[in-house]
Amino acid sequence: MSIDMSQFHQVFFEECFEGLEAMESGLLTLDMGDIDSEIINTIFRGAHSIKGGSGTFGFTVVAEYTHIMETLLDEMRDGRRKVTQPAVDVLLGSVDCLREMLTAIQNEQNVNNASVEKHKTALEVVLNGGSVAEEPALPVEQEFTSEEVSFNDAPDVDEEESVELEEQGWKIAFCPYLDLLKTGNDPVRLFRELNELGELTTTVNIQDVPGFYELDPEECNISWDLKVVGDISGDEIREIFNWVEGDCEMEIQPLAKAVKLPPVVKKIDPEPTPVIIPNNPAPKSVEVKPKPVTETKKPDSQDSDNEAAKTTAKASSIRVDTDKIDTLINMVGEVVITQSMLGLVGENFSMDKVGQLKRGLAQLERHTRDLQQSVMNIRMLPISFVFSRFPRLVHDISSKLDKKIVLKLVGENTEVDKAVVELINDPLVHLIRNSLDHGIEMPADRVAAGKPETGTIELKAYHRGGHIVIEIIDDGRGLDKDKLLAKAIEKGLIEENNLLTEKQIFELIFMPGFSTAEQLTDISGRGVGMDVVRRNIQSLGGNIEIISELGKGTTIAIHLPLTLAILDGQSVAVGDETYIVPLVSIIESINITERMLNKVAGKGETFRLRNEYLPVIRMRSIFNVHSGNPTKSKEGVLVVVEGQGELCCLLVDELLGQQQVVIKSLEANYRRVEGVSGATILGDGSVALILDVPGLVRFSIR
């Protein structure tokens, strides 16, 4: 049977990367003074699994490399080798190297051999280096070798083999110990295998079987004299008995040859092995004949193999908690029950069943909602997928900068949509680098400022409403408003006599071309600026804000929607069309008449809301809607929305309901449309456009 192994590659790679992360965080938490053996074990297991998998799936380079790591870790695990900081650093380097190798292999690129060799050498230096703990090392190692020798001792009959072959067969005295059956081995199976090699004759010795009353059916009281005839090598015979080696007494001799060969199995206990029962007492293992099935199934499975391989090549996969799947299955069950109930009602429908029908429909609605919830839940991953990379980042950068910094992670189990998890990583890396580089001061400066020498960066995630909030809190020097202002003026980003609120000043750092670092280091300020960070977060439908106090520290808070696939929306009517306004961006809605709007020359229309003049966008004109009753536009509803910190009013005919809508991409199905972020399908089957509020606000400002 041929199985296409490539279908498992995706899972293998994901698992490797997860393993590497676990190894990395393990290595980072290792405390030199007090080694936690469980951590070493975890790290070892990571290397071990990667080695096993890469061997199986044919990535020999990886397998060879991890083998060295594994050896090193094994020695550390057994206490034969001391865990030292240099060794840990080399291992961390190896983790990086492996990650690179695996990424290259995954993308079908060439592995960078030079770098692999470099890391390999570093590992070997550590492995052969002097840091081996002296005493316990040797005895253990010796034990292993001696055991290996004795193990290899047995089959050293090989030389005689060529002679044996001429004898055309073997005579085997097979005398199982009483406990043989208790390892799940069954003599019958051994005989069957022997029979496949050549013609087998068995002679049963039952003289040791005790009387009926003393008989323990779980013991093997029988022994056998076996004769196999055929052109069989000694190794083939020994291979069959490989598994029962320690559970029996056995002599294997070539037929018609008087010379006794060294027994294959050490004769440890020559205790007379009793017994026999004519009816084999060995509990029968279930008889199965998988062969024919294999054959008939072959074409089938082949097809599905290829299919699977094809799909895995494209699709990214996701690991889902079994609990979530169970809930889902449960829900589907409920829906099916409701459906059959409704079916029953519909079969002989009469008006007196209306109540029943309504109940059924209500139930269906509830179950559909729950089902949707459960399905969405599948896409939810704990934010720790992102957070777990940061301890390493902080470790590496802070040592490069000679700063003392601890990273605290809070709320790692907060769940968020997979798409958000994937896209939030880069902005977070940037923000944390900034905190490390610009936020936290040098230890001496900190002490001088009366702060603890070690700085703290806290990475915190929590749910608020339909959002996830991620905060990066440092206790560093904070943002200097005057400096920011001066810089912005110097760069010509704002005019000198502009009066800005504190919030506006902080937001200056999000402007393109703004950087406060006196000199760019290789840690932060590498091309991507804060403006890119903000844009990325906004493209996820989120926003970012800064709270900072000079000398005390800075908090950067990112608000993101929990999912990018579903949105809470307010449907509004404009003529005959329905539009969806994301609920999160609505501040309030006001019933107005035409007269309440003010026309400002050159600035379009505005609406005065509590002493503030807000721009008004007429949805009818912006989307060219002519249908519906035009007189109705004499009065309408103003929806006050916020996007990118700016307010604006959307003039619509009326408010419809609030509902969760599933976002369908307009770009994928049509093309990008200004002011529209996507589309959805309404209950009656018609399509409604989802408004891109920040886009509309930008439009209104222009």
User: Could you list the residues that contact another protein (CB under 8 A)?
Assistant: 1-3, 5, 7-9, 11-12, 14-15, 42, 44-45, 48-49, 51-53, 55-57, 63, 144, 147-148, 151, 181-186, 189, 192-193, 218, 242-243, 246-247, 282-283, 285-286, 288, 290-291, 293-294, 297, 301, 305, 319
Amino acid of residue 333: G
- Taking the complex as a whole, how short is the minimal distance between the CB of residue 651 and another protein, in angstroms? 54
What span, in angstroms and rounded, lies between the C-alpha atoms of 584 and 661? Answer: 13
Whether residue 634 contacts residue 651, with contact meaning beta carbons closer than 8 Å, is answered with no
Report the nearest approach of another protein to the CB of residue 53 (Å): 5
Tokens of 542: 């989120």
Contact (Cβ atoms closer than 8 angstroms) between residue 462 and residue 559:
no
H or E stretch covering 76: helix 60-77
283 or 604: CB nearest another protein: 283
Shortest spacing between CB 181 and another protein, in angstroms: 6
Minimum CB distance to another protein smaller for 179 or for 674:
179
Q: Which residue, 55 or 210, is less far from another protein as judged by CB?
A: 55
Which H/E stretch holds residue 94?
A: helix 85-106
Rounded Cα–Cα distance for residues 119 and 93 (Å): 7
Q: How far is the CB of 502 from another protein (least distance, A)?
A: 50
Q: How far apart are CA 666 and CA 698, in angstroms?
A: 20
Q: Which residue's CB is nearer to another protein, number 40 or number 567?
A: 40
- Cβ atoms 474, 456 nearer than 8 A: yes
At its nearest, how many Å lie between another protein and the CB of residue 113?
A: 22
| C-beta closer to another protein: residue 137 or 494 | 137
Q: Which is nearer to another protein, 41 or 660 (CB)?
A: 41
What's the CA gap between 574 and 650, in Å, rounded? 11
Cβ closest to another protein, residue 158 vs residue 303: 303
| Rounded least distance, CB 277 to another protein, Å | 16
Structure tokens at 562: 């929990």
Between the CA of residue 8 and those of 172, 301, 336, 674, what are the distances in Å? 43, 15, 33, 42
Nearest-angstrom CA–CA distance, 436 and 406: 10
Identify the residue whose tokens are 């910190």: 645
51 vs 467, beta carbon nearer another protein:
51
Cβ-based nearer residue to another protein, 57 or 506: 57
At its nearest, how many Å lie between another protein and the CB of residue 109?
Answer: 21
User: Dihedrals φ, ψ of 621, to 5°?
Assistant: -80, -35
Q: How far is the CB of 642 from another protein (least distance, A)?
A: 44
Kindly list the strands in the beta sheet with 553-561, ordered across the sheet, starting from the edge strand earlier in the chain: 405-410, 455-464, 467-474, 553-561, 543-549
CB nearer another protein, residue 115 or residue 195: 195
**Between 151 and 670, CB nearer to another protein:** 151
> Measured from the CB of residue 301, what is the shortest distance to another protein in angstroms?
4
> What residues contact residue 56 under an 8 Å CB cut-off, 6+ apart?
5
CA atoms within 13 A on the CB side of 47: 26
CA distances from 186 to 223, 285, 679 (A): 13, 8, 66
- What are the percentages of helix, strand and coil residues in the chain, rounded to 5? 50, 20, 30
Structure tokens at 364: 């269906």
Q: Cβ 39 to another protein, closest distance in Å?
A: 12
Handedness of CA 676, 678, 682, 685 (dihedral sign): positive
Find the shortest distance in angstroms from Cβ 177 to another protein: 12
Closer residue to another protein, CB minimum distance, 64 or 635: 64
Least distance to another protein from the beta carbon of 50, Å? 9
Token pair recorded at residue 491: 């760069």
Q: How far is the CB of 71 from another protein (least distance, A)?
A: 8
Please state the closest distance from residue 186 (CB atom) to another protein, in A: 8
Residue with tokens 């405390």: 31
For tokens 């060295």, name the residue: 68
DSSP sequence for 110-153: ---HHHHHHHHHHHHHHHHSTTB-HHHHHHHHHHHHHHHHHHHH
C-beta of 282 vs 505, nearer to another protein: 282
Q: Which is nearer to another protein, 8 or 514 (CB)?
A: 8
Q: How far is CA 313 from CA 10, 36, 541, in A?
A: 7, 40, 30
Tell me whether residue 419 is exposed, middle or buried, using C-beta atoms within 10 angstroms of its C-beta: 0 to 12, 13 to 18, 19 or more: middle
Q: How far apart are CA 569 and CA 541, in angstroms?
A: 14
